[in-house]
Structure 1
Amino acid sequence: MTLDWNYDVDNTTMVEGDAYHCTSGDESDYKLMPWSVPQQPYVDYINGFYRDAFIKNVGHCSNLPKFDGDFVPPWPRGVYKLDKCVANGEGLPEIAPEGYYKIVYKTTGEVEWGFTLIIRVSHKGL
Protein backbone atom coordinates (compact mmCIF):
# COMPACT_ATOMS: atom_id res chain seq x y z
CA MET A 1 0.00 0.00 0.00
CA THR A 2 1.19 3.51 -0.74
CA LEU A 3 -0.41 6.53 0.89
CA ASP A 4 0.55 10.02 -0.28
CA TRP A 5 -0.39 12.10 2.77
CA ASN A 6 -0.75 15.74 1.75
CA TYR A 7 -3.43 16.86 4.18
CA ASP A 8 -3.47 18.78 7.45
CA VAL A 9 -5.71 17.22 10.08
CA ASP A 10 -7.75 19.59 12.25
CA ASN A 11 -10.22 19.17 15.11
CA THR A 12 -13.06 18.42 12.68
CA THR A 13 -11.29 15.38 11.21
CA MET A 14 -13.06 12.15 12.19
CA VAL A 15 -12.07 8.52 11.54
CA GLU A 16 -14.13 5.34 11.53
CA GLY A 17 -13.67 1.80 10.30
CA ASP A 18 -15.65 -1.40 9.81
CA ALA A 19 -14.48 -4.99 9.41
CA TYR A 20 -16.06 -7.62 7.17
CA HIS A 21 -15.20 -11.34 6.84
CA CYS A 22 -15.69 -14.07 4.28
CA THR A 23 -14.06 -17.42 3.54
CA SER A 24 -14.07 -17.23 -0.26
CA GLY A 25 -12.77 -13.75 -1.02
CA ASP A 26 -15.82 -13.16 -3.22
CA GLU A 27 -17.15 -9.62 -2.78
CA SER A 28 -20.75 -10.83 -2.35
CA ASP A 29 -19.81 -13.14 0.57
CA TYR A 30 -18.49 -10.51 3.03
CA LYS A 31 -20.44 -10.15 6.28
CA LEU A 32 -20.07 -7.30 8.79
CA MET A 33 -18.11 -8.30 11.91
CA PRO A 34 -18.68 -6.88 15.41
CA TRP A 35 -15.18 -5.34 15.33
CA SER A 36 -15.08 -1.72 14.36
CA VAL A 37 -13.41 1.58 15.04
CA PRO A 38 -16.30 3.85 16.03
CA GLN A 39 -16.34 7.35 14.61
CA GLN A 40 -13.92 9.42 16.67
CA PRO A 41 -11.64 12.45 16.39
CA TYR A 42 -8.46 11.75 14.42
CA VAL A 43 -6.20 12.48 17.41
CA ASP A 44 -8.14 9.98 19.58
CA TYR A 45 -7.77 7.35 16.83
CA ILE A 46 -4.00 7.91 16.59
CA ASN A 47 -3.55 7.80 20.39
CA GLY A 48 -5.75 4.67 20.60
CA PHE A 49 -6.19 2.06 17.88
CA TYR A 50 -3.38 3.33 15.62
CA ARG A 51 -0.77 3.26 18.40
CA ASP A 52 -2.08 0.24 20.33
CA ALA A 53 -2.86 -2.13 17.45
CA PHE A 54 -2.27 -0.82 13.92
CA ILE A 55 1.34 0.32 14.29
CA LYS A 56 2.22 -2.73 16.44
CA ASN A 57 1.20 -4.91 13.49
CA VAL A 58 2.54 -2.94 10.52
CA GLY A 59 5.15 -0.61 12.02
CA HIS A 60 7.92 -3.09 11.17
CA CYS A 61 7.04 -3.14 7.46
CA SER A 62 6.20 0.52 6.92
CA ASN A 63 7.55 4.01 7.29
CA LEU A 64 4.41 5.19 9.11
CA PRO A 65 5.07 7.59 12.00
CA LYS A 66 5.52 6.07 15.45
CA PHE A 67 5.03 8.09 18.63
CA ASP A 68 6.57 7.53 22.07
CA GLY A 69 3.90 9.53 23.90
CA ASP A 70 0.62 11.01 22.78
CA PHE A 71 0.38 12.27 19.23
CA VAL A 72 0.30 16.03 18.88
CA PRO A 73 -0.70 17.41 15.45
CA PRO A 74 0.31 18.03 12.79
CA TRP A 75 0.54 14.63 11.16
CA PRO A 76 3.69 14.65 9.01
CA ARG A 77 3.05 15.02 5.29
CA GLY A 78 4.78 12.47 3.11
CA VAL A 79 4.53 9.23 1.16
CA TYR A 80 3.95 6.22 3.43
CA LYS A 81 4.45 2.67 2.26
CA LEU A 82 3.49 -0.70 3.70
CA ASP A 83 5.38 -3.52 2.03
CA LYS A 84 4.79 -7.27 2.48
CA CYS A 85 3.33 -6.83 5.96
CA VAL A 86 2.65 -9.88 8.09
CA ALA A 87 0.72 -8.90 11.23
CA ASN A 88 1.40 -10.56 14.57
CA GLY A 89 -2.11 -9.85 15.88
CA GLU A 90 -1.06 -7.70 18.86
CA GLY A 91 -3.97 -5.55 20.02
CA LEU A 92 -6.41 -7.38 17.75
CA PRO A 93 -9.07 -9.98 18.67
CA GLU A 94 -7.51 -13.17 20.06
CA ILE A 95 -9.58 -15.46 17.85
CA ALA A 96 -10.25 -14.65 14.22
CA PRO A 97 -11.61 -17.19 11.76
CA GLU A 98 -9.42 -17.95 8.76
CA GLY A 99 -10.43 -16.26 5.57
CA TYR A 100 -10.50 -12.82 4.07
CA TYR A 101 -11.11 -9.58 5.91
CA LYS A 102 -12.10 -6.33 4.31
CA ILE A 103 -11.36 -3.30 6.47
CA VAL A 104 -13.09 -0.12 5.31
CA TYR A 105 -11.81 3.18 6.72
CA LYS A 106 -13.53 6.50 6.24
CA THR A 107 -12.16 9.92 7.19
CA THR A 108 -14.35 13.00 7.22
CA GLY A 109 -13.79 16.66 7.94
CA GLU A 110 -12.45 19.35 5.64
CA VAL A 111 -11.76 16.54 3.14
CA GLU A 112 -13.62 13.22 2.87
CA TRP A 113 -11.58 10.19 1.89
CA GLY A 114 -11.07 6.58 2.78
CA PHE A 115 -9.50 3.30 1.81
CA THR A 116 -10.20 -0.42 1.87
CA LEU A 117 -7.74 -3.08 2.97
CA ILE A 118 -8.16 -6.75 2.06
CA ILE A 119 -6.33 -9.08 4.43
CA ARG A 120 -6.02 -12.87 4.36
CA VAL A 121 -5.81 -14.65 7.72
CA SER A 122 -4.37 -18.16 7.75
CA HIS A 123 -2.54 -20.54 10.08
CA LYS A 124 1.19 -19.83 10.38
CA GLY A 125 3.17 -21.58 7.71
CA LEU A 126 0.46 -21.57 5.04
Structure 2
Amino acid sequence: MMSKLIACVFVLLLPIDNAICKRMWEYTLISVNTTSADPSKFKMDAEIVRISRTEFGLSVNVVLNFVIDETTFAVVYRSNTGNEEDYVLMPWSVAKQTYEEFTKAYYKNFVYKNLAHCSNLPTPDKAYPLPLGTVMKFERCIIPGESLPDYVPDGYYKTVFTATGEVELSAVLTLKVSKITDLFG
Protein backbone atom coordinates (compact mmCIF):
# COMPACT_ATOMS: atom_id res chain seq x y z
CA MET A 1 0.00 0.00 0.00
CA MET A 2 2.74 2.44 0.98
CA SER A 3 4.72 1.64 -2.17
CA LYS A 4 1.67 2.41 -4.33
CA LEU A 5 1.26 5.76 -2.56
CA ILE A 6 4.91 6.63 -3.11
CA ALA A 7 4.68 5.59 -6.77
CA CYS A 8 1.55 7.76 -7.25
CA VAL A 9 3.23 10.79 -5.66
CA PHE A 10 6.34 10.24 -7.78
CA VAL A 11 4.32 9.97 -11.01
CA LEU A 12 2.30 13.08 -10.17
CA LEU A 13 5.29 15.20 -9.17
CA LEU A 14 7.67 14.14 -11.95
CA PRO A 15 6.25 16.56 -14.58
CA ILE A 16 6.24 19.42 -12.06
CA ASP A 17 9.85 18.74 -11.13
CA ASN A 18 10.88 18.73 -14.80
CA ALA A 19 8.98 21.97 -15.45
CA ILE A 20 10.57 23.73 -12.48
CA CYS A 21 14.11 22.77 -13.41
CA LYS A 22 14.21 24.41 -16.81
CA ARG A 23 14.16 27.90 -18.21
CA MET A 24 10.57 29.18 -18.30
CA TRP A 25 11.09 31.96 -20.86
CA GLU A 26 12.16 32.47 -24.43
CA TYR A 27 13.58 35.46 -26.23
CA THR A 28 13.35 37.14 -29.60
CA LEU A 29 16.27 39.24 -30.83
CA ILE A 30 15.09 42.75 -31.70
CA SER A 31 18.26 44.70 -32.56
CA VAL A 32 22.01 44.95 -32.09
CA ASN A 33 23.95 48.22 -32.38
CA THR A 34 27.68 48.78 -31.95
CA THR A 35 29.84 51.91 -31.85
CA SER A 36 33.56 52.50 -31.50
CA ALA A 37 35.40 55.81 -31.20
CA ASP A 38 38.48 54.23 -32.77
CA PRO A 39 37.85 51.29 -35.14
CA SER A 40 41.61 50.67 -35.40
CA LYS A 41 41.60 49.64 -31.71
CA PHE A 42 38.17 48.03 -31.51
CA LYS A 43 35.90 46.99 -34.34
CA MET A 44 32.68 45.05 -33.99
CA ASP A 45 30.36 44.08 -36.82
CA ALA A 46 27.14 42.50 -35.56
CA GLU A 47 23.90 41.44 -37.19
CA ILE A 48 20.83 39.38 -36.46
CA VAL A 49 20.60 36.48 -38.92
CA ARG A 50 17.72 34.18 -39.78
CA ILE A 51 18.48 30.56 -38.91
CA SER A 52 15.09 29.03 -39.67
CA ARG A 53 11.54 30.20 -40.20
CA THR A 54 11.08 30.87 -36.49
CA GLU A 55 14.65 31.23 -35.18
CA PHE A 56 17.08 34.09 -35.34
CA GLY A 57 20.67 34.16 -34.15
CA LEU A 58 23.45 36.62 -33.68
CA SER A 59 26.57 36.82 -35.84
CA VAL A 60 29.40 39.02 -34.60
CA ASN A 61 33.01 39.68 -35.63
CA VAL A 62 35.22 41.45 -33.09
CA VAL A 63 38.74 42.76 -33.66
CA LEU A 64 40.44 43.78 -30.41
CA ASN A 65 43.60 45.94 -30.50
CA PHE A 66 43.63 47.37 -26.98
CA VAL A 67 44.00 46.06 -23.44
CA ILE A 68 40.66 45.53 -21.72
CA ASP A 69 40.68 47.12 -18.25
CA GLU A 70 38.41 48.14 -15.37
CA THR A 71 36.51 50.65 -17.53
CA THR A 72 34.76 47.83 -19.41
CA PHE A 73 31.41 46.81 -17.95
CA ALA A 74 27.91 45.60 -18.78
CA VAL A 75 24.47 46.61 -17.52
CA VAL A 76 20.98 45.21 -18.20
CA TYR A 77 17.78 47.27 -18.50
CA ARG A 78 14.14 46.13 -18.74
CA SER A 79 11.03 47.79 -20.16
CA ASN A 80 7.40 46.64 -20.24
CA THR A 81 6.72 48.50 -23.49
CA GLY A 82 10.03 48.85 -25.30
CA ASN A 83 9.86 52.67 -25.18
CA GLU A 84 13.26 54.26 -24.54
CA GLU A 85 11.93 56.26 -21.56
CA ASP A 86 10.52 53.11 -19.93
CA TYR A 87 13.75 51.12 -19.41
CA VAL A 88 14.87 50.56 -15.80
CA LEU A 89 18.12 49.11 -14.52
CA MET A 90 17.97 45.42 -13.57
CA PRO A 91 20.04 43.82 -10.80
CA TRP A 92 21.88 41.58 -13.30
CA SER A 93 24.59 44.11 -14.08
CA VAL A 94 28.28 43.34 -14.06
CA ALA A 95 30.13 45.69 -11.72
CA LYS A 96 33.01 47.71 -13.11
CA GLN A 97 36.02 45.46 -12.75
CA THR A 98 39.19 44.45 -14.48
CA TYR A 99 38.96 41.97 -17.32
CA GLU A 100 40.96 39.51 -15.23
CA GLU A 101 38.34 39.69 -12.43
CA PHE A 102 35.58 39.30 -15.03
CA THR A 103 37.17 36.14 -16.44
CA LYS A 104 37.37 34.64 -12.95
CA ALA A 105 33.79 35.56 -11.96
CA TYR A 106 31.69 35.36 -15.16
CA TYR A 107 33.56 34.10 -18.19
CA LYS A 108 33.55 30.33 -17.53
CA ASN A 109 30.05 30.04 -16.05
CA PHE A 110 28.20 32.43 -18.31
CA VAL A 111 30.02 33.65 -21.42
CA TYR A 112 31.82 30.43 -22.33
CA LYS A 113 28.86 28.15 -21.50
CA ASN A 114 26.48 30.18 -23.68
CA LEU A 115 28.72 31.12 -26.60
CA ALA A 116 31.46 28.50 -27.01
CA HIS A 117 29.27 26.33 -29.26
CA CYS A 118 29.05 29.02 -31.94
CA SER A 119 32.32 30.93 -31.62
CA ASN A 120 36.08 30.76 -31.43
CA LEU A 121 36.18 32.03 -27.84
CA PRO A 122 39.30 31.01 -25.93
CA THR A 123 38.86 28.38 -23.24
CA PRO A 124 38.49 29.80 -19.71
CA ASP A 125 42.12 29.01 -18.84
CA LYS A 126 43.29 31.06 -21.87
CA ALA A 127 40.78 33.94 -21.65
CA TYR A 128 43.17 36.25 -19.80
CA PRO A 129 45.15 38.05 -21.03
CA LEU A 130 43.83 38.42 -24.55
CA PRO A 131 46.63 39.22 -26.99
CA LEU A 132 46.39 42.38 -29.08
CA GLY A 133 44.91 41.66 -32.48
CA THR A 134 42.53 39.03 -31.13
CA VAL A 135 39.72 38.28 -33.57
CA MET A 136 36.59 36.67 -32.16
CA LYS A 137 33.87 35.30 -34.41
CA PHE A 138 30.37 34.34 -33.37
CA GLU A 139 28.39 32.59 -36.10
CA ARG A 140 24.59 32.27 -35.89
CA CYS A 141 24.59 32.14 -32.08
CA ILE A 142 21.44 31.14 -30.27
CA ILE A 143 22.03 31.69 -26.56
CA PRO A 144 20.81 28.65 -24.59
CA GLY A 145 20.54 30.62 -21.32
CA GLU A 146 22.96 28.62 -19.18
CA SER A 147 23.45 30.22 -15.73
CA LEU A 148 20.61 32.68 -16.35
CA PRO A 149 17.56 32.83 -14.07
CA ASP A 150 14.83 30.23 -14.70
CA TYR A 151 12.13 32.88 -14.34
CA VAL A 152 12.35 36.30 -15.95
CA PRO A 153 9.52 38.86 -16.21
CA ASP A 154 8.06 39.40 -19.68
CA GLY A 155 9.21 42.56 -21.41
CA TYR A 156 11.96 44.12 -23.47
CA TYR A 157 15.56 43.88 -22.29
CA LYS A 158 18.64 45.83 -23.28
CA THR A 159 22.11 44.57 -22.50
CA VAL A 160 24.61 47.42 -22.77
CA PHE A 161 28.37 46.71 -22.89
CA THR A 162 30.55 49.81 -22.62
CA ALA A 163 34.18 50.80 -22.21
CA THR A 164 35.51 54.30 -21.61
CA GLY A 165 39.25 53.77 -21.21
CA GLU A 166 41.73 53.61 -24.07
CA VAL A 167 38.87 53.47 -26.56
CA GLU A 168 35.21 54.36 -26.09
CA LEU A 169 32.94 51.62 -27.32
CA SER A 170 29.46 50.28 -26.83
CA ALA A 171 27.38 47.33 -27.94
CA VAL A 172 23.64 47.27 -27.27
CA LEU A 173 21.60 44.08 -27.65
CA THR A 174 17.81 44.45 -27.42
CA LEU A 175 15.53 41.46 -27.05
CA LYS A 176 11.96 40.63 -26.12
CA VAL A 177 11.36 38.04 -23.41
CA SER A 178 8.11 36.11 -23.07
CA LYS A 179 6.92 33.20 -20.96
CA ILE A 180 6.99 29.68 -22.33
CA THR A 181 3.38 28.58 -22.13
CA ASP A 182 3.95 24.85 -22.74
CA LEU A 183 5.27 23.87 -19.31
CA PHE A 184 5.58 20.16 -20.03
CA GLY A 185 6.77 20.27 -23.64
> In proportion to residue count, which structure has more helix?
2
Superposed counterparts of 1:58-77, under 5 Å: 58-60=115-117, 62-69=118-125, 71-75=127-131, 77=134
Does 1:51 find its partner at 2:79? no
Task: Supply the distance in 1 between the matched residues of 2:124 and 2:97 (Cα, whole angstroms).
Answer: 21
Superposed counterparts of 1:77-116, under 5 Å: 77-85=134-142, 87-116=143-172
Q: CA deviation at 1:43?
A: 1.9
Task: Supply the distance in 2 between the matched residues of 1:123 and 1:64 (Cα, whole angstroms).
Answer: 31
Give 1 or 2 for the bigger CA radius of gyration.
2
TM-score by length of 1: 0.77
Task: Supply the distance in 2 between the matched residues of 1:119 and 1:64 (Cα, whole angstroms).
Answer: 24
Q: CA deviation at 1:112?
A: 2.2
Q: 1:5 aligns with which of 63, 69, 72?
A: 63
Deviations 1:60-93 (A, max 9, x none): 2x314131426331246125235252x3322223
Deviations 1:9-52 (A, max 9, x none): 25x45321111111222222211112210000012212322321
Structure 1 pair 123–64 and aligned structure 2 pair: CA distance change class (3 A): farther
TM-score by length of 2: 0.56
Does 1:25 find its partner at 2:87? no
Matched letter for residue 66 of structure 2: D
SS at match of 2:159: strand
Contact 1:47 1:70 in 2 (8 A): no
Matched letter for residue 90 of structure 1: E
Structure 2: unaligned runs, 5 residues or longer: 1-45, 47-59
Contact 2:78 2:89 in 1 (8 A): yes
Contact 2:162 2:171 in 1 (8 A): yes
Contact 2:103 2:128 in 1 (8 A): no
